[in-house]
Structure 1
Amino acid sequence: MEELSHKRKVTVMAAVMMAMFFAAINQTIVSTAMPRIIAILGGMDHYSWVITIYMLTSTIATVLVGKLSDMYGRKPFLLAGVIIFMIGAFLCGLSNDIFQLITYRGIQGVGAGIIMSSAFTAVGDLFSPRERGKWTGLMMAVFGFSSVLGPTLGGWLVDHMDWHWLFWIFLPIGIVALVMIIALFPKTERKTDEKIDYLGSLFLSLMIIALLLGFSWGGTEYEWGSVQIIGLFIASALFLGLFIVAEKKASSPVLPLSLFKNDIVVISNTIGFIMNAGMMGALIYLPFFVQGVEGISPTYSGYVTMPMSITMVVVSAITGRKISATGKYKRFALLGLPFMVAGLSIMAYMDSIAVAVVAMVVFGLGLGLGMPIFSLTVQNAVSPKELGVATASSQLFRNMGGTIGIAIMGTIMQTSLKHNMEDAAKGMDTSAIDPAVAQQLAAFQNPEMLLDQPKLEQLQQTLPPDIQPVVAGMIETLRESLSDALTTVFLSGDALVLVAFILVFFLREIPLRTSNKETGE
């Protein structure tokens, strides 16, 4: 990339952050509204797939684009990412059932993976590792701001407008991002001497797909010990072996094996994987507590998560500036992850909105301190020519961790909820109730009812007055079953984040480089 003035670098970063904000706000705006959307479209059993497919496609796109952008420059991929994401968002708004929504979210995921990989690598192109701390903090603040605005706006929209507008309202920002990138982002000379690693890309993609499908379907679609799940894991191991063979022979590997000889890269990526597995796996089910257990509407559900986002925005911006000023980063990870552990511990036992808000603040503090660190450590540990693939490897492990975490937590959630409901049903005697009314009461044994409060209240009003106490008891039992299941989910996520914290002690800290012309360790 050509040498740019500081002023030009700032304008380029404005374009990059606009593209990131467009992708992030479209992701966060649906978070509080997703339970209501699932209740409208049906298919709670497939709830985790709406998230999983997005993570799956974005993971594959992220790692493939890393090397390609090293060869062809970041600009064409940023543009392609925004266009693909816009197409996916538009189609999501046209969904008529859960399976269409899953398909279109997959398209969105491809665009998001391209945008995120190219955006974080662009920071490495423009600034030295010592300067990157400040900009990484600001990019995390963009995520934080979208997390403040998105859930609240998404909740309000789904309460007052047709849900389809959730996916369409920010499309104009995508157009603005496209124009800014075209006008401001510099071109990079194409490396014509390097060949695309088609074979390595194919085997890596197949390995990721088989692995993530195995975790996503295990315990839900099929038993963990079933032929299908074991077959997927065997296929994943086979494709991994073929990928390693292909990379050893490739002249320009899509993911160089030499990266994994670097202890800083390996430990940073392992921490990112485990941390995201625990964090994403737990947080994705937070709206179930706020809306399902506490009965808060999607509009006000966004206000509950807002303290986490505000805390994260402020702390991540301060952390980034401190890292740039001191050149030290490990201390912030050692400080941040215990706050994340504490936040998830509070979530596991929260019994009111007030306690949930406290959990959000504590967890947001940990996110702001810890999250900007591990991409920076990876970028600082490699030479500038490997910046794209190194950043992609970091995003790959984070995305895979998040996807596997969501899948495992989904299994834990469904299994625990089913067990709790079975236990509750044993103590319920409906033999004296009229069969026709008993059939209506069956609807109140479906956890999806808790996620659509207006429908729940409307259904309650259709039942005879003498049955109302029974209905109230069934709803309370349903809430308790869901709450107990969520406690198990949050504790599982907590355990994983604790493991990530222990690994931070083994992370070797090296000085942040002050130039992009120096080679890594």
Structure 2
Amino acid sequence: MLFSALEGTIVGTAMPRIVGELGGLSLMTWLTTAYMLTSTIVVPIAGKLADLLGRKSVYVTGLLIFMLGSVLIALGLQSHKSAGPVRFDIAGMAAMIVGVVSLLLALSFGGGQYAWGSWQIIGLFVLSFAALTVFVRIESTTPEPILPVRLFRDRTFSIVNAIGFLMSIGMFGAIMFVPLFMQGIVGISASASGTVMTPMMLSMILASIAGGQLVLKVGVRPQMTAGMIIMAGGFLLLTTLGVNTTKLYASGIMLVIGLGMGLVMPLLTLTLQEHFPKSELGVVTSSSTFFRQIGGTFGMTLLGVVMNSRSDTLLSANLLPLLHGLPAEAAGLEESITHMVHTNPQALYSALLSPESLAQFPPALLGSIVPVIKTSLVSSLHAVFWAGLAFVVLGALLTPFLGRVSVSNRSKSREEAAAE
């Protein structure tokens, strides 16, 4: 993930130059389309090869192919380095890492391993606040900040990155939790749940291609607003998933979400690249990638907290009373399940995906326990989808405040220049 993020930042920064040489803005989406299309095709193939040849072989091969692609990109880009000595913002990097990691640890451990009011969780929140405060001070004074604070005074910069952050929270809610719903509740296999997610990738690709042309006609703000509204509608549909949900219905929902994502995601980088001068393309492009990635990271953490909190309430009320009737020889099982309910409900839900785990339950109790676990999982995931919807709606509400951004048609500009 780290090398992929670095690769995306470098290529994204060079994107305006690349599309200029290729012949126009409309070709920009094809660069990302090539990546998403091959990823969509290769995933099921790699999954099958992993079963046949072993995961290690496929994993190493994937890394080698990735590195080959990195070399080809490096050969295709001209080297542009800043004049003078290179200065690394080591202090800013360290402060940011401490602040973000401490906050994520607090959100992950809170309410599970430690109580929210415990000194461990409070200490992590205090450490995060202190480190991020130091980070802001460092970025305000250092000659070469990794994230210049002055950029946040620009309304377009702040709103675009806020939209990307909020959208990524919701996006990872779909990517991470929909397969769990389909496997744990509907009861389909892992490969079948992958086919449910495929329409999202395909519609995102098609929407990105169409959006590259559409933005020239309707503008950035209307397209971004429409994309966020469509994505919000998809998340609203996620809350209707149930035990009797079909693969076709779930695939249709993922198609809607992918359509909204495809209209928005390319604009998050394009808007900043069009709004800022070439001298700042590197920092604004990397900021867009950073806020989307940190949004995804926070999304997985925050939505996981929502799921665990809701699960704790439901399982404590509905499952634990059933365990009190177990015979004395099953006391160990009762203690183990009670511990999972209060600390890691997701581990309990994993039993729905593993026949070996279900076999550990007494047969007489299995018929009453599984329905309770499934019902709790449905309600917990609905809470996750509602939370994801809230973040997407917040992002949609920000789009009207986005300033007017003019998108240039580089292909047309080059033709006019040639005519002159």
Q: TM-score, normalised by structure 2?
A: 0.84
Runs of 4+ aligned structure 1 residues displaced above 6 Å come to 129-132, 437-445
- What per-residue deviation string (whole Å, max 9, x for no partner) do you get for residues 65-107 of structure 1? xxxxxxxxxxxxxxxxxxxxxxxxxxxxxxxxxxxxxxxxxxx
Give the aligned partner of residue 20 of structure 1: none
Q: Is the 8 A contact 1:348 1:491 kept in 2?
A: yes
Give the aligned partner of residue 295 of structure 1: 187
Distance 1:503 1:488 in 2: 23
The structure 2 residue matched to 1:372, chosen from 245, 266, 274, is 266
Distance 2:119 2:217 in 1: 54
Q: Is the 8 A contact 1:123 1:135 kept in 2?
A: no
Q: Is the 8 A contact 1:129 1:380 kept in 2?
A: no
AA aligned opposite 1:227: W
Instruction: In structure 2, list runs of 5 or more residues that go unmatched.
Output: 339-347, 411-420
Tell me how large the CA RMSD over aligned residues is: 3.2
1:69-148 aligned at under 5 Å gives the runs: 109-127=1-19, 133-142=25-34, 144-145=36-37, 148=40
1:21-420 aligned at under 5 Å gives the runs: 109-127=1-19, 133-142=25-34, 144-145=36-37, 148-149=40-41, 151-153=43-45, 156=48, 162-165=54-57, 167-193=59-85, 195-323=87-215, 325-326=216-217, 328-351=219-242, 352=245, 353-420=247-314
How far 1:135 sits from its partner (Å)?
4.5
AA aligned opposite 2:394: V
Give the aligned partner of residue 19 of structure 1: none
Distance 2:367 2:136 in 1: 58
Distance 1:444 1:360 in 2: 33
Distance 1:260 1:130 in 2: 32
How far 1:143 sits from its partner (Å)?
5.2
The structure 2 residue matched to 1:449, chosen from 351, 364, 371, is 351
Distance 2:407 2:75 in 1: 32
Deviates more, 1:503-512 or 1:247-256: 247-256
Q: Is the 8 A contact 1:346 1:355 kept in 2?
A: no
The total of aligned residue pairs comes to: 400
Q: Is the 8 A contact 1:137 1:321 kept in 2?
A: no
Q: TM-score, normalised by structure 1?
A: 0.69
Alpha carbons of 1:197 and 1:456: their partners in 2 closer, same or farther (altered >3 Å)? closer
- What per-residue deviation string (whole Å, max 9, x for no partner) do you get for residues 28-57 of structure 1? xxxxxxxxxxxxxxxxxxxxxxxxxxxxxx
Distance 2:149 2:182 in 1: 44
Deviates more, 1:125-134 or 1:442-451: 125-134
Asked if 1:477 corresponds to 2:372, the answer is yes
Deviates more, 1:207-216 or 1:410-419: 207-216
Q: SS state of the match for residue 371, structure 1?
A: helix
How far 1:159 sits from its partner (Å)?
5.8
Distance 2:318 2:21 in 1: 56
Q: Is the 8 A contact 2:169 2:391 kept in 1?
A: yes
Instruction: In structure 1, list runs of 5 or more residues that go unmatched.
Output: 1-108, 516-521
The structure 2 residue matched to 1:497, chosen from 392, 401, 415, is 392
AA aligned opposite 1:250: T
Q: SS state of the match for residue 428, structure 1?
A: helix
How far 1:514 sits from its partner (Å)?
5.7
**% same residue:** 27
